[in-house]
Structure 1
């Protein structure tokens, strides 16, 4: 049984077609911080969106734990989110996990830390966003502390079931309860930006096109 409510499949699918820049703008309209700084794609040209399976890691203690088995928690289309607290001198993700996640139909993995075996990820086309790639193992250095608990990616809070979206520009987190409104705002902003672009193509001055279609009003927060 899932530990969080599932979003409608068509809602998640709609986010898969959106650039992270548009999603970030829509979150700004709501006063929600969702843009994750510092995570970059290990495989260019991919776009993904899926609900988060959150994984919290800590350095090993006197009772050493393991890196954990967690793929059974995820279903097709989900995103694995690993909170490694930004550490990049060892890894929590490699070729075996890539192969298993790819075969399970997961959307991708985001790591606030490092991954290795990048060639294997490229070979199967499995997308990963992380801070770096490095070869040293995290075994006996890190352990999985808890799964599907609140974590942080680049200082952004992520709860199990939140929507994680990513593309070549980076990673953005949409709180689960804000997903529907965020999509509505993305579509609203997109429609007005299309009108402005069409006007400019037809010869209208940019300033006039922006004023006519309320461009600067798109930047203000809701409720202000």
Structure 2
């Protein structure tokens, strides 16, 4: 059975673009969930520019990538493709041709819970791909089974179609679409705090700056030796 939802609920592009200014690591000061560290999933090449876009989700069987091409067809400029291969380690569903097709459609990044291939060609095309590993073995086009725009799981984080994906060279943030305004407030607040810390560090001595942590230790029993 193949299930395809053709459309996702769209957020305003200007609203989405605001998230490009906020690193996922700033959210890491506040959140303990919905953040994907680059451990099992890694960039195929260095992520030069932070991106933010809505998720087009795909779930495929390990050997069949026909729905990857269909998802690219359905994608709109600024989207992020999120492909769940259930941790497949051998067969790569993403490579040079899919990269060229995605770029032509205006897709900004691809995240694969499985392998990618053609890593040098992906780098030459300056396209952002996250994958578990690289492999010379590739999927084929069969049309066995799969889904487009259904909930998927990437490294233990649930991604729903239309969720907002923010990524850079440090990691990935998954923002539930219906909570995007709340997340933007958190992000702006943490970004302002981070900038304030930098200003404080530049305006006082390093010793005085480091003393700021002392208040967190005042009520602790410390064994000095």
TM range (shorter): 0.7 to 0.9
The answer to whether the Cα contact below 8 Å between 2:56 and 2:162 also exists between their aligned partners in 1 is: yes
Tell me what 2:75 maps to.
74
CA contact (8 A) 1:59 1:143 kept: no
User: Which of residues 4, 9, 12 in structure 1 aligns to 2:8?
Assistant: 4
Structure 2 CA distance for aligned equivalents of residues 122 and 22 of structure 1: 27
CA pair 168-144 structure 1, distance change in 2 beyond 3 A: farther
Residues 1:206 and 1:133: Cα distance change in structure 2 (over 3 Å): same
C-alpha RMSD over aligned residues? 2.5
Q: Secondary structure of 1:128's match?
A: strand
Name the residue aligned to 1:39: 41
Residue pairs, 1:40-189, within 5 angstroms: 40-44=42-46, 45-59=48-62, 67-68=66-67, 69-139=70-140, 144-189=145-190
TM-score scaled by length of structure 2 = 0.81
CA distance in 1, matches of 2:124, 2:196: 41
Query: Which is greater in Rg?
Result: 2
**Can you give the 5+ residue segments of structure 1 that lack an aligned partner in the other structure?**
215-224
CA distance in 2, matches of 1:156, 1:142: 27
Question: In the aligned structure 2, how far is the partner of 1:3 from the partner of 1:27?
Answer: 30
In 1: Cα distance, 2:6 partner to 2:188 partner: 30
Equivalent residue pairs, number: 205
- Equivalence for 1:195: 196
The 1-side partners of 2:11 and 2:141 are apart by 37
CA contact (8 A) 2:52 2:165 kept: yes
Any stretches of 5+ residues in structure 2 without a counterpart? 217-225
DSSP 3-state at the match of 1:43: coil
**Higher strand fraction: Structure 1 or Structure 2?**
1
Distance in 1 of aligned mates of 2:203 and 2:90: 53
Q: CA deviation at 1:145?
A: 0.4
For 1:51, what is the secondary structure of its paired residue?
strand
Kindly state the Cα deviation for residue 140 of structure 1 after the two structures are TM-superposed.
7.3
* 1:88–1:132 contact (8 Å) kept in structure 2: yes
